[in-house]
Structure 1
Amino acid sequence: MEQTLVLIGPTASGKSSLAVAYAQLRISRGQPAEVINADSMLVYRGMDIGTAKPSEAERAGIPHHLIDIADVTETASVAEFQQLARAAIDDCHARGVLPIVVGGSALYTRAIVDEFDFPGTDPGVRARWEAELTRVGPEALHRILAERAPDTAAGILPGNGRRIVRALEVIELTGGFTPKLPEWTYALPGVVQVGLELERDELDRRIAARVEEMWAAGLVAEVRRLIPLGLRDGLTAARALGYRQVLQFLDGELTEAEAKEATVVGTRRFARKQLGWYRRDHRIAWLPALAEDLVESVDRLMSGMDTSSSG
């Protein structure tokens, strides 16, 4: 039976290294495996340090799909990402390769593995609302959304221009917008979801350490390089954690120390939010991220030998 392994967990929990280690174990047994990126920020060329994108050395020769496929000016769409990821997974299955999906947000991983349909889109309508966003700003556009669909507006932050534009587009095309998540029904064969657990204090420590490492590795210089390539114009890329804060620093809105701290705080908040979403999925088998036998535990789950930790 075809299988699809999905590795999820908070930022800095070790998902990427686990994916490579497990792929290497499979390959040592003559069972090829490849990694499918499900983090919307790893798709951007040049956004390496702030996304903790695995380097060529860290990938250890394991093919990684959906990394470095977009310019920073392009807007990441969940619907488009779903199509690209599923095509990569289908290609792996067709070649007898195990796809290992390494997750970013719960929305993206669910869109990939579950029955998850998106309302249609119209480039003309989208462009018109994006132009209006540029003209009046997200808060004013949010007020328009609140007049047309109060319930929808209540669930979207006034500063989230991308989601406001998408909601207005869908309302114009369909007459309504209900951002309702689907039932827990897999759209792919043989899905095994594994979540990595960390104690909150350890997770917070790792996030702070990762941000320090990003700064030391040259995140500010990376952002400076990306600005001439259109980073500020990207509706998605410019809002990425770390990049948004560095832009604020370069614009004089924050000191460098404040930008660094804001990145730590924002990342911790994002990690907790994502864990809250993942905890609702009863199909995920949770494993301690620091366990010495982590790779073997994943292998047992893939073999169907150990189901005691699922839930």
Structure 2
Amino acid sequence: MPRQGGLREAPGPVIAVVGPTGTGKSDLAVELALALDGEVVNTDSMQFYRGMDIGTAKLTVEERRGVPHHLLDILDVRDEASVSAFQSAARAAIEDIHSRGRWAILAGGSGLYVRAATDVLEFPGTDPAVRARLEAEAERDGLGPLARRLSDIDPESAARLKDARRIIRALEVHEVTGRPFSAYMPRRQYVQPTLQIGLDMDRSVLHGRLAERVDRMVGAGLLEEVRRLEAEGLREGRTASRALGYAQFLTVLDGDAAVEEAAEATIVATRQFARRQVTWFRADPRVRWLDALRPDLLHAALAILGGQVPEAPSVS
């Protein structure tokens, strides 16, 4: 039924395809979009970057099969990704898709970005001057005094945050807003009807797939891609320069590692990242899990959407 102003109601819930890297989230999102008359919204923070194609396993135009994709290639490698800016852009994209009576399908394994798009999540303001002062304190006195200060004002955040960047951010938030950083933790409450479909598989199989994928990336020219992006400012990007594969292959350009060593380091780092993703998404009881290798994957995903409960996969 049309809304006031001529906008059509969303045909169904927002669909978010989540889970660890290497499980085929992008492919399933395209299949769902084709089956449902939908469009895909990217929630992989590294696929925001123009030119970071091989190392992020970004679908080619041909692989997108005519399905519109939103929030791909929206940043230069020098730009820092912002969850709050993404939240605004993602929700605008979803509203635009729904206004045309189509399904919005999120695809990507960046957990915080998925929650920014789907959940009640408030982002506190920033103050560059306050942050610069705190960074100078950390440089001068070390992290210890800042960590102790955070423990006094926000013990919950202090117990969770161990790296300098996040401790400084927590102190900045308290100073700017007067509220503890922990008060801004997301709640498991959707802003609109949403269905999360999680893909996973046997861990040993996933590890093998990730190793094979890195080998394919190297064969497809990952080193050349990193070399080109370095000339465009990759090292200056606080987010892009830390991306899996890119950080490791920058050491090849520096002469500190051979291609084979960088590839192995990328495989190890990718497996570790996949483990963290599993931990993140498995902690959310709202995710409906499917074995990514089941031959009827699209049918099973559509069955979940229809309120049916496919047999749960056994993964380890």
Q: Which amino acid aligns with 2:75?
A: A
Structure 1 segments of 4 or more deviating over 6 A?
Answer: none
Q: Could you tell me which of 5, 24, 43 is aligned with 1:14?
A: 24
Partner of 1:58: 63
Change in 2 beyond 3 A, CA 1:11/1:179: farther
Partner of 1:29: none
The 5 Å alignment of 1:64-213 reads 64-126=69-131, 128=132, 132=136, 136=139, 142-143=143-144, 145-150=146-151, 151=155, 152=157, 155-158=160-163, 161=165, 163-175=166-178, 176-178=180-182, 181-189=185-193, 191-213=194-216
Partner of 1:216: 219
Partner of 2:35: 25
Change in 2 beyond 3 A, CA 1:179/1:50: farther
1:243-293 deviation line (CA, Å, top 9, x unaligned):
111112322333332221111111111111111111111111111111111
SS at match of 2:15: strand
Contact 1:50 1:241 in 2 (8 A): yes
Partner of 1:284: 287
Contact 2:304 2:310 in 1 (8 A): yes
Give the fraction of aligned pairs with identical amino acids, expressed as a percent.
Answer: 48
1:78-121 deviation line (CA, Å, top 9, x unaligned):
11111111111111111101000002222111121111112112
2-side partners of 1:282 and 1:239: how far apart? 30
1-side partners of 2:66 and 2:30: how far apart? 9
C-alpha RMSD of the superposition:
2.4
SS at match of 1:48: coil
Contact 1:146 1:154 in 2 (8 A): no
Contact 2:252 2:258 in 1 (8 A): yes
Change in 2 beyond 3 A, CA 1:73/1:99: same
Tell me how far 1:303 sits from its aligned partner.
1.9
Change in 2 beyond 3 A, CA 1:101/1:130: farther
2-side partners of 1:21 and 1:309: how far apart? 21
Tell me how far 1:132 sits from its aligned partner.
4.3
Change in 2 beyond 3 A, CA 1:157/1:211: farther
1-side partners of 2:133 and 2:88: how far apart? 24
Question: What count of residue pairs does the alignment treat as equivalent?
Answer: 298
Q: Which amino acid aligns with 1:250?
A: L
TM-score, scaled to structure 1: 0.87
SS at match of 1:99: strand
Change in 2 beyond 3 A, CA 1:141/1:174: farther
Partner of 2:230: 227
TM-score, scaled to structure 2: 0.86
Contact 1:197 1:288 in 2 (8 A): yes
Question: Structure 2 stretches of 5 or more lacking a match?
Answer: 1-10
